[in-house]
Structure 1
Amino acid sequence: MNFLRREPHIALSDFVKNKSYKGVLILPFAIVQKKAVPLFSDFSFKEIDHLASLGDFQAKESEISFFYPMKGPFERVLLLGLGEIEKVSLETIRRVFGSLERFLASKKWFQVLVPNFHLKEIRREKLLEAFLEGFLLSSYQFSLKKEETAKEYRLTLLDFGVSKKSVEEIIVVIKSVFLARDLANGNADLVTPSYLAKTAKSFSKGNLRVSVLDKKELEKEKMGLLLAVGRGAKEEPKLILGEYIGDPKSKDLIALVGKGVTFDTGGLNLKPSGSIETQKADMSGAAAVLGALIAAKDLKLKVNLIAAIPTAENAIDSLSYKPGDVYKSFSEKTVEITNTDAEGRLILADAISYVKKKYPITRLIDLATLTGAILVTFGHEVSGMMSNDETLSKALIKAGENTFERVWPLPIYPEWRELLKSDIADISNSGGRLGSSITAALFLKEFVQDTPWAHLDIAGTAFLPKPGKYCTKGATGVGVRLLIEYLKLLQAKPKDRPKK
């Protein structure tokens, strides 16, 4: 599945003065002492001075002016504003180059040249990463329209002074984000549990091994909650397991668990119109985990991962699991179903218990579009985080700040556990509306127990109702860049790994 997208073509090149260049040259500027100041040094055009004298270009954030030079090797020159230099951050770079990409797409200018530019406070490698992220993430297309064509950018970096490997590593992560977006945007009739399993297995090679537990194996393992959620669908539930060993000498093993509900009707507690239309993206946590797993392998990160993706369709049928009934989990805890639309935590609970029992994990991170309440709390800007481990939560906050896939902690005080009490089972699956993002996390905590753990509720950040700064409308692929950054930070600071 590849929606109108081509592999990004990025070349590194030295600038040759006597050579003619097709395309548009991008020249970044910032505001210094109320004046537009160039952030590059090798290019000079009289037209720039003329635009400045007229006040037609002031270098405000995302401001664009362009001209056709009378002389020189370039067809077009575009001036790009980054705003006040004191306020320019990596996120500013992403935003500005995302805006640039949308402008270039509107003009159908797909041959782009970017010269080496610099900011004193930002390392060249980070500057490169931010601008490529903003530009390429914005270039993503999801469309099934009959006559729409793909953007085919040819991006040349002039005198940038970075290695080809640096560029390739950035592309690896972008491609994984695109995979996650594709999976969450794709038709629910296509992206089924079987499709997810087939996609995951296609990446099984070398030190990344993928296996799948089908319905018979789930029954043998007595994974009652995952089986319950999938009862009403023709598509059978599955548990996808991916194991990447990048550091064989280390005993550290990180579990990544992603919710993979490929369509959520709400079950017999049916979702209303206005809520059900985007439920094909209820497997965004699974998509992020799979994307991060593939990127970690392709980047050859020195970490060890076990990814678990419980996947099912929460459909309506005479066999659908029912409110008021009690089901036994893999851990043997019994769960009273008080709301069939609180299904994500059920499949996560079985997956969490399974990886805890079968693998010697040292910490666990789960990602899920779990509650609408988190959208009320943080909107589309921030993912909610609930954790039982301060070291892990601080590292994820740092990774979120670096990537701008920000997370923010919420408390999980034991008093909220009272809302999950059941008269007939060990626990109920829903505590009602009060503190519902937190009670959802407390439900998971029952199965996590003492393992260092962080739960990321991405219900607000995984799918956008309108285009964002460098995200198109629809699936964002949130979590891929966050997890890869966390793993890189961990690789750089092994002391942050929990001791066994």
Structure 2
Amino acid sequence: MLPTGPSFTFKVATKLSTQPACLSVFLLDGAKGPAADEALLGDVTKKAIARLILSGVSRGKARDIHFDLIDETSRKNPEFRRVYVAGLGPVKKVSAEGIRQSAGAIARAAKKHRVADMTIALPQFERGSTDLTAGAIAEAIVGGLLLAGFDFTEYKGTAAKRDAGKEASRTFTILCSPESADAVKRGIERGRIIAEGQNFARTIASRPGNVINPPSLAKVAQDLAKEVGLTARVLDEKQMQKLGMGGILAVGAGSIVTPPRMIVLEHAPKSAKSGQPLLVIGKAITFDTGGISIKPADKMGRMIFDKCGGMAVLGLMYAVAKLKLPVRVVGILAAAENHISDTAYRPGDILKMYNGVTVEVTNTDAEGRLVLADALAWGIEQYKPSAVVNLATLTGGVVVALGKTMAGIMANDDGIVKELDAAAGLAGEKLWRLPIGEDQREYIKSEPADIVNSGGREGHPLQGGAFLSFFVPGGAGEGAANSDGGKLVPWAHLDIAGVADTEKDLPYYAKGATGWGVRTLVEWVSAK
């Protein structure tokens, strides 16, 4: 079985259970009663909720959660021993993301109080206050529960793992009206699959470098393909040598025992609307020392997360297969270890890439763009996609520019930016467009070669996108002076360095890998 996160069970009910354990309701900021169909709630339960609201304890502030205990002697079936009230914030700001975050607070409360069985009343809102459907609300609740319930315990001691396993087994019942039950069931299933894909990505991202290296990552991808019905193909170093993939081979040259791999997964359903696939490529540097241009020792251990772009591709491919989306999708993980050894590539080396572009190496720590470049050029030529997206923890500069709440997007086409921005909005993930064009490409011109892999600090995140544009037909936009003259392929580069992992607890993420991008990619593919 694939590691897809907590083993939660989800049910749907249209009336209260006769022996419920706990109930959760949602509360809007300033509201006098819960955002729920109160006809479905019991009298004692409603009194407990009212106590929390009237006392001022629960005010509906986003992500706040409070509970009240019900006196067992006054319980009449069907009632609850404990009632939770989770804040949603003001009604004008209600969104799927807000519900997802509040559901995360519920999951954490359930874990803290060792609640194994909880009923959650589906929130209802006044007509016209939101366009969220019952299915979308249920999907957001399930996503928040599963993402907040994720706990990476693979390397804990056996006793801790046993206890964690018991804690992870919970049942959540969504209480809703009979009219919305079918939509809620569909929302639960979609939310579960997408969150499982994201948690799968988080799990593999969290595995250390002595466990996940390019060959072992290829095995993970092959296991995924076998379980969910994808096609898998893996290019080894000998095959890549024959193909002339000078970038990924150079980056992986310092690691002879665990050489690089180009890992390809394909979802090709008979129901696909088009023969042209969508191509999604992820940087999968399984560990990054920086090479000869070595990184500082402080926090170098977090470089296990340098593979998170590739992990988002893994999560996407899990979800599209499980959801049976009628779209052909090809996912490529460009996997290498960037090590120091007598075989490692050096500053001053000149590399010839798959498409013939030559690169002067000025910094061996600017390695991600080299592996992505070969994957882009080869993948576009091989699969002739209708559109391409790549994801990478590419630059620290994007963190300086945008912080740790949004990813940078660079593209050669306005249309694909609009598509991804809309998808990110549905997913609750944030993008900000950065420029790419001739001004940016000028930063990376080389004297002895075509381009350098790093042109210094100025426009640092923009250089990464500019570099990759040399490996996409019409990469800097149609008619760009230095494009290869080929037909423009809509392409977007997502720099996820700021959002791929977190060092603090967030509403539904614990410290570690976030799986950022899986939801956005699923929404993008679903819209095709």
Q: Give the TM-score normalised by the residue count of structure 1.
A: 0.93
SS where residue 127 of structure 1 aligns? helix
How many aligned positions are there? 487
Task: Provide, for residues 166-205 of structure 1, a one-character-per-residue CA deviation record: whole Å limited to 9, x for no partner.
Answer: 3222211111101100111111110111121111111335
CA distance in 2 between counterparts of 1:89 and 1:249 reads: 31
* Matching of residue 446 in structure 1 with residue 474 in structure 2: no
Verify the 8 A CA contact 2:135 2:186 in the aligned structure 1: no
**Structural mapping, 1:168-207, within 5 Å:** 168-205=189-226
Paired AA for residue 141 in structure 2: F
1:63-112 per-position Cα deviation (integer Å, ceiling 9, x unaligned): 31322242223222222222322332222211211122222211111211
Aligned equivalents of 2:395, 2:430: Cα separation in 1: 17
Aligned position for 1:100: 106
1:413 is matched with which residue: 427, 437, 442?
437
Q: Name the SS for the 1:97 alignment partner.
A: helix
Give the one of 170, 174, 185 matched to 1:157: 174
- Is the partner of 1:135 in helix, strand or coil? helix
Indicate if the aligned counterparts of 2:248 and 2:371 stay in contact, CA closer than 8 A: yes
1:54 is aligned with what amino acid? Answer: S
With over 3 angstroms needed to count, the CA separation of the structure-2 counterparts of 1:448 and 1:218, relative to structure 1, is same
Instruction: Look up the match of 2:149.
Output: 139
> 2:101·2:508 contact (CA, 8 Å) conserved in 1?
yes
Deviation by residue 1:424-462 (Cα, 9 ceiling, x = unmatched)? 111111111110110111000001122210000000000
Residue of structure 1 equivalent to 2:187: 166
Letter in 2 for 1:153: R
Structure-1 residue corresponding to 2:49: 48
Distance 1:159 1:432, change over 3 A: same
Secondary structure of the structure 1 residue equivalent to 2:224: coil
| Deviation of the 1:51 alpha carbon | 3.9
Equivalent position to 1:209, from 204, 226, 231: 231
Matching residue of 2:514: 476
Is contact 2:135–2:187 with CA below 8 Å preserved after alignment?
A: yes
Q: Secondary structure of 2:85's match? A: strand
Contact 1:3 1:141 survives alignment (8 Å): no
Task: Please give the secondary structure, in 1, of the residue aligned with 2:81.
Answer: strand
Q: CA deviation at 1:16?
A: 4.8
Offset of residue 261 of structure 1: 0.4
Partner Cα distance (1:184, 1:171) in 2 = 20
Cα deviation, residue 307, structure 1: 1.4
CA deviation vs aligned residue, 1:103-122 (integer Å, no higher than 9, x gap) = 22111112111123312422
Identical aligned pairs, as a percentage? Answer: 34
The aligned residue for residue 336 of structure 2 is 312
Q: Is the 8 A contact 1:260 1:310 kept in 2?
A: yes
The answer (yes or no) to whether the contact 2:396–2:497 under 8 Å persists in 1 is yes
Relative distance call for 1:170 and 1:53 in structure 2 (3 A) is closer
Cα distance change, pair 6–50 in 1 and its aligned pair in 2 (3 A) = closer
Q: What is the CA distance between 1:363 and its match in structure 2?
A: 1.3
Rounded to whole Å, the distance in 2 between the matches of 1:486 and 1:456 is 14
Structure-to-structure mapping, 1:118-137, within 5 angstroms? 118-120=124-126, 121=130, 122-137=132-147
Letter in 2 for 1:107: H
Displacement of 1:238 in angstroms is 0.6
The answer to whether structure 1 residue 379 and structure 2 residue 396 are counterparts is no
> Bigger shift: 311-320 or 415-424?
415-424
Matched residue SS, 1:278? helix
Relative to structure 1, is the Cα distance of residues 175 and 422 closer, same or farther in structure 2, using a 3 angstrom cutoff?
A: same
Q: 1:366 and 2:387 equivalent?
A: no
Distance 1:341 1:331 in 2: 22
> Map of 1:65-76 to 2, 5 A cutoff?
65-69=67-71, 70-72=74-76, 73=78, 74-76=80-82
- Secondary structure (helix, strand or coil) at the match of 1:203 reads helix
Matched, 1:294 2:305: no
Q: 1:4 to 1:129 in 2, by over 3 A?
A: closer
Match among 431, 435, 440 for residue 455 of structure 2: 431
Supply the RMSD in Å over aligned alpha carbons: 1.9
Give, in whole Å, the separation in 2 of the partners of 1:282 and 1:27. 39
Change (3 A) 1:56 1:371: closer
Distance 1:401 1:53, change over 3 A: closer
TM-score calculated relative to the size of structure 2: 0.88
- Checking the alignment, whether the CA contact within 8 Å between 2:5 and 2:200 is kept in structure 1 is no
Q: Structure 2: where are the runs of 5+ without partners?
A: 475-488
User: Which residues of 2 match residues 451-470 of structure 1 at below 5 A?
Assistant: 451-470=489-508
Q: What CA distance in whole angstroms lies between the structure 1 residues aligned with 2:244 and 2:496?
A: 29
The letter of the residue matching 1:378 is L
Quick one: which amino acid aligns to residue 13 of structure 1?
A
Write the letter of the residue equivalent to 2:135: E
CA deviation map 1:134-183 (0-9, x unaligned): 22111100133324332222111223533344322221111110110011
CA separation of 1:58/1:360 partners in 2, compared to 1, >3 Å: closer, same or farther? closer
* Residues in 1 aligned to 2:350 and 2:123: alpha-carbon distance in whole angstroms: 62
Q: Which residue in 2 is equivalent to 1:270?
A: 294
For residue 295 of structure 1, give the secondary structure of its aligned residue in structure 2. Answer: helix
User: Aligned equivalents of 1:440 and 1:224: distance in 2?
Assistant: 18
Q: Does 1:26 align with 2:24?
A: yes
